[in-house]
Structure 1
Amino acid sequence: MVIEPLFKGVCSVFVSVSSRCFAEMDFAEACHQVVELEFDRLEIWLDESSKHLKPSQVAASPETFASQFRDQNRIPAIAFDLAHDVSRDVFQGICRASKLLRVTQISVPSSPLGTPFNSEIDRLKDLVKIAGEEGVRVSIRTERGLLSEDLHNAVELCDSVRGLGLTFDPSYYLNPATVDKSMELVAPYIFHTHLRDSTVSDVQVQVGLGEVDFSLLVSVLRKVKYTRALSVELIPVRTDLEQRGLELRKLRMLIDSLL
């Protein structure tokens, strides 16, 4: 099959990878693995319950973190991704680190299903305001069990909170009857993406065995003049460490071929 590049001449769309792919590793080792796999842009995963990298560590001294990251790594950071909600002070610290590293994107979770919509709007408005003061965009991840699980809810939140976008993960929206409409619905709101191969029944499978139509996604993003990251994010517990490098290389090459 011939894959036609869909972003001819557009250099501002690029492939990145999340450090979550190596979440069981120390952050420095994860960065080393990413460089070895020939990725050249990094999304930084933050999780307080992990030994990988805690949001409280970054927020405690944004200047120290930014300086150490630049000194120790050959790969630029392009986004932060928060595994969970954090305090206002911690979020401010992460936004400060973002500015120092020239990172303009932070992904956050929406609140759990059942949270009053107005309360969520107020929470997200506050996050967008804090981030905006440092020149950073905020987007909510589309994921199961949270308010953003329903894409219509996710879009409504974006419409209600000026400046809020989506981090779109197509793995959860593979129903053949609705996949086209789902992508078209969210495309204008997408600030960031999380990509892996998946099926309707399995959120992560080997690359090439899944049902994610990467060509369709890139085509839809092209229509809305998307100019940001296509970020690879494997769920580490779903792929053995020995196979992870191969899967990441395959995904990088697949997405690169579409650009």
Structure 2
Amino acid sequence: MSSQSDHLRPEDVVADPDAFYSNFREQTRLTPIAFCLEEDVSAETLTALSRLAKQMRVTQITVPSSEMGTPFNMEVDRLREFVSITNRDSVRLSIKTKTGHLTEDPHTAVELCQAAKGLGITLDPSYYICGPSRGQTYDQVFPYVYHTHLRDTSPEQVQVQIGLGEVDYNRLVSLLERQPYSIALSVELLPEQLEGSDRMLEMRKLRRLLETLL
């Protein structure tokens, strides 16, 4: 969800959650498994989204961590408040690993989860392969992973065609299974880097690849 998107804006969902829920059921047969917010939202907005998630039987909400430079203690206070909000609806909250945010460093991502009890991580390995932490291990985040966003990535480009990147899906799935991780693996392709027809082809290729590992 993004305020900059024409597809799904959180403020529109919050304005009339019942209408959104009804329209969603009428327009698609897909079963949603998670909400992902691209920008920070207020506590009031998160409260409404958490209630909607409970209504739709969605058990996972991903929020961005704050941008680099944000004081650690300030971020912990924000995330503790957010976790307390989603806990009331039995919805799990996680922060996404992403360049430019506090979670661009895997150690900081883990420390945030340890400081805000109940908080998890939405792992997007692309930003650890193509970003300031490239070449470093990020194995320490796996015990805290609640959700995943997957695409293929090279050290120079955050999204490449499936098979041309350096994401070790076999090792990734193996590390998740050790936790154990029994939740869905999500594919997230960046639309601005793909044409419409290529997007569907890449989606099918990655889905088939993941199916061979499960």
Query: TM-score, normalising length from structure 2?
Result: 0.95
In structure 2, the residue matched to 1:127 is 82
2:96 matched residue in structure 1: 141
What amino acid maps onto 1:209 in structure 2? Answer: L
2:26 and 2:47 map into 1 onto residues whose CA distance is: 23
Say whether the 8 Å CA contact 1:197–1:207 is kept in structure 2. yes
Matched, 1:159 2:107: no
The answer as to 2:102 corresponding to 1:170 is no
CA 1:133–1:114: 2 relative to 1, 3 Å = same
Say which of 243, 248, 258 aligns to 2:203. Answer: 248
- 1:65-80 mapped onto 2 (5 Å cutoff): 65-80=20-35
Query: Contact 1:60 / 1:93 at 8 angstroms: preserved in 2?
Result: no
Distance 1:124 1:158 in 2: 9
> What's the C-alpha RMSD, in Å, of the aligned pairs?
1.2
Q: Tell me by how many angstroms 1:177 deviates.
A: 5.0
The offset of 1:168, in angstroms, is 0.4
Task: Quote the offset at 1:171 in angstroms.
Answer: 1.0
Looking at structure 2, the residues matched to 116 and 128 of structure 1 have their Cα atoms a distance apart, in angstroms, of 19
Percent identity, aligned pairs only, is: 51
- The reply on whether 1:104 has 2:63 as its aligned counterpart is no
User: Does residue 36 of structure 2 align to residue 84 of structure 1?
Assistant: no
Aligned partner of residue 209 in structure 1, secondary structure: coil
2: CA distance, partners of 1:222 / 1:88: 33
Displacement of 1:90 in angstroms is 1.3
1:206-217 to structure 2, matched below 5 A, reads 206-217=161-172
User: Which of these residues, 186, 191, 198, is aligned with residue 146 of structure 2?
Assistant: 191
Superposed CA offset, 1:15-45 (max 9, x none): xxxxxxxxxxxxxxxxxxxxxxxxxxxxxxx
2:7 and 2:100 mapped to 1: Cα distance? Answer: 24
Any unmatched runs of 5+ in structure 2? Answer: none
Bigger strand fraction: 1
| Alpha carbons 2:134, 2:155 under 8 Å: kept | no
Partners of 1:206 and 1:237 lie apart in 2 by 14
- Give the SS at the match of 1:102: coil
